[in-house]
Amino acid sequence: MSHSPEGAARRPHPRSQQLYERATRVIPGGVNSPVRAFRAVGGTPLFFTSGRGAYLTDADGRSYLDLVCSWGPLILGHAHPAVVEAIAQACRQGTTFGAPCPGEVELAERVVASYPGIEQVRLVSSGTEAVMSAIRLARAFTGRDLIVKFSGCYHGHADHLLVAAGSGLATFGRPSSAGVPEAFTACTRVLPLDDEAAVEELFARDGGRIAAVIIEPVPANHGLLPQRREFLESLRAVTRRHGALLIFDEVISGFRLARGGAAERLGIVPDLATFGKVIGGGMPVGAFAGPREVMARLAPDGDTYQAGTLSGNPVAMASGIATLDVLTGGNGWSTLEALGAQLEGLLQPVLREAPFPMHLVRVGSLFWLSMHEGGAPRSAATLPQEAAGRFAALFHAMLAEGVYLPPSAYEACFLSLAHTASDLERFAQALRHSLATLR
């Protein structure tokens, strides 16, 4: 096993390399989602051919302990037998009907029973769609136009939310995307996290025009930036006072941090919540939910249009239902918390010996290795220039150790129920070796 970062970076992956060259001819940048491209860490992306439990196998037949878990959906790990079986069974009955199916009712009932304060849910096919639709609904319900978001929070790639939108953009050093007309973001206000005064000031000026405040209650798209409870409580209070809706974007945190997501964990109930990732168990599912009074504004009952050809298809529903049932049946959330706590215990001594500042930020089964100098930040802060190079070297050293980290210093890591105590020890060991090579 190579312990030199140079050797690690140059370790050949001929089949991945070949696939990547073919991919770049027919797919822009060779990838279908930018952060997969390894631009922040250098080298060419690995192509994976299979996943099982906590492990991935690449096209060259090498195995990696996976800390990405498809960016969150795989809370049970790869190819969990119950999920695979549910999907296979559903497929044999037909993959989509373009008409209602029982699975939609079953998944919707589970969401409503799990999440505080909601009565109805509409199922869609991605987190982006869920957020887009929730925003449209909030505007329709309040009859107002302005949306408030926070710098560093990512809410999918809809035009009007693609401002100061977290890791994907931070990785590429851009505040916002090209191709988004100013007029499209004219109704979006961006505020810093962790700053009650900025929120109060905006509401004092524009309160009567604000339809909704949207936030990741545990921001996990610009590293991991756990917020003070008082800050989130102040959002609950100010929105209520001004007749605006509070939207928790729980696309990452929903069904991951607790059965009732971050809302349950924090004891703060939003007006609307959005889901994705875990709720589909690895199939494309998103959802947005709220009280009947608000949800009734959606077509066909109401005047707010929203639709989807593959929304609620039986295969995706089967995957989501099986995933939530395994989590609920085994009280997966307490196991995930215990795994996270164990990881923290293992990593603390390793990080204390790191040759540069590195802090563990953890909330349940989400964690981030923050490379900020003065401790972990609470709002979106740009990493110091040297950190990018250090992270790239660390990333490749970890790859050589057989550990797959997210390929950007701004991305959080994910644990699953498939990660065992010995996997975590392996991870800590690999981190110790890798950091030693960077000394």
Interacting residue with ligand PLP among 131, 165, 190, 351 (CB under 6 A): 131
Q: Give CA separation, 192 vs 129, 152, 180, 379, in Å.
A: 24, 8, 21, 7
The sign of the CA dihedral 417, 421, 426, 427 is positive
Choose between 139 and 155: whose C-beta lies nearer to ligand PLP: 155
Q: Is 411 in the site for ligand PLP (CB under 6 A)?
A: no
Residue of 341, 346, 352 lying closest to 415 (CA atoms)? 341
Residues in contact with ligand PLP, shown as a per-residue x/- string from 309 to 338 under the rule CB under 6 A: ------------------------------
Interacting residue with ligand PLP among 216, 264, 401, 411 (CB under 6 A): 216
Q: Is 221 in the site for ligand PLP (CB under 6 A)?
A: yes
What's the rounded Cα separation, in Å, for the pair 418 and 84?
A: 15
**Any idea what the Cα angle at residue 79 is, between residues 313 and 30, rounded to 5°?**
80
- How far is CA 38 from its chain centroid? 18
Q: How far is the CB of 284 from ligand PLP (least distance, A)?
A: 7
What's the rounded Cα separation, in Å, for the pair 110 and 325?
A: 9
Catalytic hit among 249, 271, 410, 423: 249
Alpha helices for 27-122 (secondary structure H)? 81-92, 102-114
Q: How far is the CB of 9 from ligand PLP (least distance, A)?
A: 28
Identity of the amino acid at 68: V
Residues in contact with ligand PLP, shown as a per-residue x/- string from 97 to 126 under the rule CB under 6 A: -----------------------------x
Interacting residue with ligand PLP among 20, 64, 141, 154 (CB under 6 A): 154
Who's near 27: CB < 8 A, 6+ residues apart? none
What's the rounded Cα separation, in Å, for the pair 151 and 3?
A: 38
Q: Is 276 in the site for ligand PLP (CB under 6 A)?
A: yes
404 counts as catalytic: no
| 17, two tokens | 């390399």
Q: How far is the CB of 323 from ligand PLP (least distance, A)?
A: 15
Q: Is 406 in the site for ligand PLP (CB under 6 A)?
A: no
Residues 408 and 397: beta-carbon distance below 8 Å:
no
Nearest residue (beta carbon) to ligand PLP: 127
Interacting residue with ligand PLP among 127, 223, 364, 406 (CB under 6 A): 127
171 burial class (0-12, 13-18, 19+ CB within 10 angstroms)? buried
What's the rounded Cα separation, in Å, for the pair 322 and 326?
A: 6
Choose between 283 and 397: whose C-beta lies nearer to ligand PLP: 283
What's the rounded Cα separation, in Å, for the pair 419 and 424?
A: 7
Catalytic hit among 64, 154, 404, 410: 154
Q: Give CA separation, 384 vs 224, 356, 361, in Å.
A: 17, 12, 18
Choose between 316 and 392: whose C-beta lies nearer to ligand PLP: 316
Q: How far is the CB of 44 from ligand PLP (least distance, A)?
A: 23
Number of residues in contact with ligand PLP under rule CB under 6 A: 14
The dihedral formed by the CA atoms of 275, 281, 284 and 285, expressed in degrees to the nearest 10: -30
206 counts as catalytic: no
What's the rounded Cα separation, in Å, for the pair 327 and 336?
A: 10
Choose between 20 and 71: whose C-beta lies nearer to ligand PLP: 71
Q: Is 185 in the site for ligand PLP (CB under 6 A)?
A: no
Choose between 139 and 222: whose C-beta lies nearer to ligand PLP: 222
Who's near 225: CB < 8 A, 6+ residues apart? 152, 193, 194, 218, 219, 361, 377, 378, 379, 380
410 counts as catalytic: no
Contacts to ligand PLP from residues 230-269, by CB under 6 A: 249, 251-252
Choose between 150 and 395: whose C-beta lies nearer to ligand PLP: 150
Identity of the amino acid at 314: P
Choose between 161 and 393: whose C-beta lies nearer to ligand PLP: 161
Q: How far is the CB of 413 from ligand PLP (least distance, A)?
A: 14
Choose between 251 and 283: whose C-beta lies nearer to ligand PLP: 251
Catalytic hit among 66, 194, 277, 423: 277
Residues in contact with ligand PLP, shown as a per-residue x/- string from 21 to 40 under the rule CB under 6 A: --------------------
Report the interface residues with ligand PLP, using CB under 6 A. 126-128, 131, 154-156, 216, 221, 249, 251-252, 276, 286
What are the residue numbers of the active site?
154, 249, 277
